[in-house]
């Protein structure tokens, strides 16, 4: 069996005295498209920050590509949940996409022609070529989300982490983001954090539920007990694969 891309063992994270993650185990293999669902405050974003090496563990280990996360940042692309920024910030769409090249450039160097080409290709992939010279402040929520995905693609990642990319976009845009991810999963391993329990199961290869502890569904199936254990409120359960059907044991 090949080495896992991401391997987290007994990870516990304490922030401000409370356990945000408690003994979490996770294994992600090359080519996986893992969906992580769970309630707000369940530690989903924290888990991504652990994989990015931004969050220190109280105990446990995390290995990405077999190494500590801070050593492999170049191979990991990150799409944050929602970018909090000043809408009047003077920056163009292309300049934001170019930030994805930061990882590949040394201090003091400037972006080159090939950096610009890679940025323009990524903008084309997410359908924003037309807006490349525009000011970022004028983008809609969906366009901004696609720009953040483009910026992550510009870093040419082998592993792509997305934090609720569809949280603040309209349904039509949501479909187009999932279509985009369906294309990207041919080329890279993807970990997606989301609330969209309904939609994701049609796209991902595995689902994990996270509420401080983690339940993983290797087959891509979720059962009601698990979900009810995670969510304090009723949840739609959808089973993967075509044709769609409901779980028997409802």
Applying CB under 8 A, the residues found at the interface with other proteins are 52, 54, 73-74, 78, 80, 83, 85-92, 95-96, 98-99, 102-103, 105, 107-108, 110-111, 135, 137, 151, 155
Supply the minimum distance, in Å, between the C-beta of residue 92 and other proteins: 6
Query: What secondary structure does DSSP assign to 202-249, as a single string?
Result: TT-SEEEEEESEEEEETTS---HHHHHHH-SS-------SSS----TT
Least distance in Å: CB of 18 to other proteins? 17
Mention every residue, 6+ apart, whose C-beta is less than 8 A from residue 51: 6, 8, 62, 64, 69, 76, 161, 191
Q: Nearer Cβ to other proteins, position 155 or 199?
A: 155
Q: Which is nearer to other proteins, 90 or 171 (CB)?
A: 90
As measured in angstroms, the least distance from the Cβ of 91 to other proteins is 6
Name the residue nearer to other proteins (CB basis): 87 or 224: 87
Q: Are strands 76-79 and 159-163 parallel, antiparallel or unpaired?
A: parallel
Q: Which residue has the tokens 């893992």?
A: 34
Closer residue to other proteins in complex, CB, 151/203: 151
Which CB atom, from 55 or from 189, has the smaller least distance to other proteins?
55
For the chain, report the end-to-end CA distance as a whole number of angstroms: 36
For the chain, counts of helices (H) and of strands (E): 7, 9
For the bound state, the minimum distance from the C-beta of residue 140 to other proteins, rounded and expressed in Å, comes to 14
> How many alpha carbons fall within 13 Å on the CB side of residue 68?
8
User: How near is the Cβ of 131 to other proteins at its closest, in Å?
Assistant: 12
Cα dihedral 41, 44, 48, 51 sign: positive
């Amino acid at each position: 069996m090949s080495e896992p891309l991401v391997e987290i063992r007994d990870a516990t994270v304490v922030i401000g005295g409370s356990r945000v993650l408690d003994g979490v185990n996770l294994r992600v293999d090359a080519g996986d498209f893992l969906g992580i669902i769970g309630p707000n405050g369940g530690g989903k974003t924290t888990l991504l920050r652990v994989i990015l090496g931004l969050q220190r563990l109280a105990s446990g280990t995390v290995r990405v590509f077999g190494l500590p996360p801070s050593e492999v940042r170049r191979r990991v692309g990150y799409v944050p949940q929602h970018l909090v920024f000043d809408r009047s910030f003077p920056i163009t769409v292309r300049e934001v996409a170019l930030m994805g090249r930061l990882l590949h450039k040394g201090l003091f160097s400037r972006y080159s022609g090939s950096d610009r080409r890679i940025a323009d290709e990524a903008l084309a992939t997410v359908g924003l070529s037309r807006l490349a010279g525009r000011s970022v402040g004028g983008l809609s929520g969906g366009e901004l989300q696609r720009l953040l995905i483009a910026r992550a693609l510009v870093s040419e990642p082998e592993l792509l982490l997305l934090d609720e990319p569809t949280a603040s976009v309209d349904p039509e845009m949501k479909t187009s983001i999932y279509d985009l991810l369906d294309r990207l999963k041919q080329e890279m391993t993807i970990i997606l954090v989301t609330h969209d329990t309904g939609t994701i199961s049609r796209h991902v290869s595995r689902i994990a539920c996270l509420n401080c502890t983690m339940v993983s569904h290797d087959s891509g199936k979720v059962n009601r007990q698990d979900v009810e254990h995670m969510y304090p409120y009723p949840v739609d359960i959808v089973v993967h694969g075509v044709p769609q059907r409901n779980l028997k044991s409802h």
